[in-house]
Amino acid sequence: MNYVFPPSALTGVPIVAASALFPVRRVFCVGRNYADHAREMGALDQADGREPPFFFSKPGDAVVAGSGEIVVNYPPQTNNLHHEVELVVALGAGGANLAVDAANKLIFGYAVGLDLTRRDLQAKAKEKGHPWDMGKGFDHSAVLGEITPVAQCGYLERGRIWLTVNGQLKQDGDLSSMMWKIPEIIANLSTFVRLEAGDLIYTGTPAGVGPLLRGDVMTGGVDGIAGFSARMV
């Protein structure tokens, strides 16, 4: 194939105990998937009942990944950058209109990441009924640690998820508190778009989101898989 200029390279995510990288295609995110976070965002109605999941996305090249300390650039146009620690599902196969009991087959592995959010821009967008894109989909907005293959850790349904900032525990929840479980998320999303290998799904954040500043060091983890360490510059 001939292009008028070289096509941009895919973002590669390191995999535990492997030399090959996971090539990122798209990044999907689930909104308000833990009741305690929905409450802290003032979305009480969603917290009380199980409304259908909703999704937003980030560009694939918004991912900043690594197995050592990940260096994250503080984004422009915000005075209120928030951390949201999330379990991230990495897909190794594709499919559309999947049944819930067929959805797990798409999972290549899991990682821990941050859905970084320019909360001030997101709040303004919500107020005006505008898209969330500029609050959510900026450069380095999808922080991601190493992927642990499902062959190594099994399918995750429960386990602690946490984030520390400068050594202080800020978010501390459990995967079992997700309102929409991982196979349900995959199945539902696959009715809107055909999922493909290389897609990442950020599965929502527990309570405790808050602001980050340049110089902050973040450590995120989920029981049973590799975590991440990142520094904001």
| Residue 32 near Mn ion by CB under 5 A | no
| Amino acid occupying residue 131 | P
| Residue 84 near Mn ion by CB under 5 A | yes
Neighbours of 125 (CB within 10 A): 17
| Residue 62 near Mn ion by CB under 5 A | no
| Residue 208 near Mn ion by CB under 5 A | no
| Residue 115 near Mn ion by CB under 5 A | yes
| Residue 203 near Mn ion by CB under 5 A | no
| Residue 146 near Mn ion by CB under 5 A | no
**Nearest distance from residue 86's CB to Mn ion, in Å?**
6
Contact 49, 35 (CB under 8 A): no
**Nearest distance from residue 119's CB to Mn ion, in Å?**
11
Contact 62, 142 (CB under 8 A): yes
**Nearest distance from residue 210's CB to Mn ion, in Å?**
13
Cα–Cα dist 56/24, whole Å: 16
- Scanning 78-86, 119-127, 180-188, 215-223 for contacts with Mn ion by CB under 5 A, the matching segment is 78-86
- Scanning 68-76, 83-91, 163-171, 172-180 for contacts with Mn ion by CB under 5 A, the matching segment is 83-91
Neighbours of 168 (CB within 10 A): 7
Of 53 and 183, CB closest to Mn ion: 53
Of 15 and 189, CB closest to Mn ion: 189
Neighbours of 214 (CB within 10 A): 11
Any idea which residue has 């941050």 for tokens?
114
| Amino acid occupying residue 29 | C
What tokens were used for 24?
């990122």
Q: Do the bridges between strand 27-30 and strand 200-202 make them parallel or antiparallel, or are there none, so unpaired?
A: parallel
- Out of 205, 208, 219, 232, the only residue in the binding site for Mn ion (CB under 5 A) is 205
Positions in the binding site for Mn ion (CB under 5 A): 84, 115, 205
